[in-house]
Structure 1
């Protein structure tokens, strides 16, 4: 790199200072860590994308089968605190783009947080009655709502940090990646196989990340 100072300006002092701290003040090593962070974020996008798509489509399929295609418009179904607002925003955004808010478009427009909220404690009864059908373990055994809710909260946090270009390099990414794959497999074994075939995470993540200082 010809000019560390110019790159640091582009990244902002606040953002780059975290990498400098991890690198013990070594600017070259700090840039290496920033570059690695970017590569890891890129590599995790593939399995994260598949998980999000598979999750929303499985929930929609199960709920449509138990209720109707527009189940999310039923006020008695949505129990989460923020989900009605998220639904209203998704519909408004679709309408503002001059499109009809069909069920398929609404499902695609709803946020990851909307879907992960479906595994909150308020939905325990719905889980017992209907939502438990969204997935099965690879050995065929059933799952508890908490098997989804805890890991998905951590995955959502990781997803949001990646979306906002925040540091993830010092996180236990192998554990998070394994969790993403596990849940994807519960939802759809073919989706899991696709992730294994196309994800670059294993080739990008180093065996060990060693900082200086």
Structure 2
């Protein structure tokens, strides 16, 4: 497939960024775009493990704190949680449109990564942080601060959005490999046993190394 065909299907605007980063060389740019697809695919295991383990860890601890599985219901009418309650309402509406039950487990699964990362915002320092710090039992004490956890989760959330919106991953700062490493570090904070388990299916470091070789002048 030549460059004209690629531009027709993927747009001049999208591919133009790759061509500019490759010094105007369309052959190199087409190869870079294909490599970007491989990198996005290779990011899925880490992102999946982190997001699902994070949400379930938060769910366990907030269920304990509020003594109920639908702990968000205790926030009803509280201005502090307006954004989070709106997201719960939206999640419930999606389930109803699909004729699915609106159980606590279904709502937990439907809520986006941004919902979970938002629970570590500064505004919740005095209400949620004391319990949510326990979600990361293996985070070193000097790093187990709300602002540190929040910054790491927001960095990973931004990366997740880039992957899911098919954006460029090859020339990020910090690099994709470094961001992937941060995600693995956070997974280790949740449970170190998850790290070697993930490593058995995590191809990102190998794919990253291959893309760097392929992009050399």
**Same-fold call, TM cutoff 0.5:** yes
Contact kept, 8 Å, 1:37 with 1:167, in 2: the verdict is yes
Contact kept, 8 Å, 1:80 with 1:117, in 2: the verdict is no
Q: Deviations over 1:50-109 (max 9, x none)?
A: 100001000000000111211112226783552221110101111222222111111000
Tell me the TM-score normalised to structure 2 length. Answer: 0.89
Task: Name the counterpart of 1:75.
Answer: 75
| 1:123–1:138 CA distance, 2 compared to 1 (3 A) | closer
Say whether 1:189 aligns with 2:188.
no
Where do 5+ consecutive residues of structure 2 fail to align? Answer: none
Task: Name the counterpart of 2:163.
Answer: 162
Does the residue aligned with 1:101 lie in a helix, a strand or coil?
A: coil
Does the residue aligned with 1:74 lie in a helix, a strand or coil?
A: helix
Contact kept, 8 Å, 1:80 with 1:118, in 2: the verdict is no
Tell me the number of residue pairs that the alignment of Structure 1 and Structure 2 aligns: 211
**Mapping for residues 44-123 of structure 1, pairs under 5 Å:** 44-67=43-66, 68-75=68-75, 79-80=80-81, 82-123=83-124
| 1:78–1:150 CA distance, 2 compared to 1 (3 A) | farther
Say whether 1:25 aligns with 2:28.
no
| 1:114–1:78 CA distance, 2 compared to 1 (3 A) | farther
Does the residue aligned with 1:99 lie in a helix, a strand or coil?
A: coil
Where do 5+ consecutive residues of structure 1 fail to align? Answer: none
1:143 Cα offset (Å): 1.3
1:142 Cα offset (Å): 7.2
Distance in 1, Cα, partners of 2:109 & 2:29: 38
Does the residue aligned with 1:126 lie in a helix, a strand or coil?
A: coil
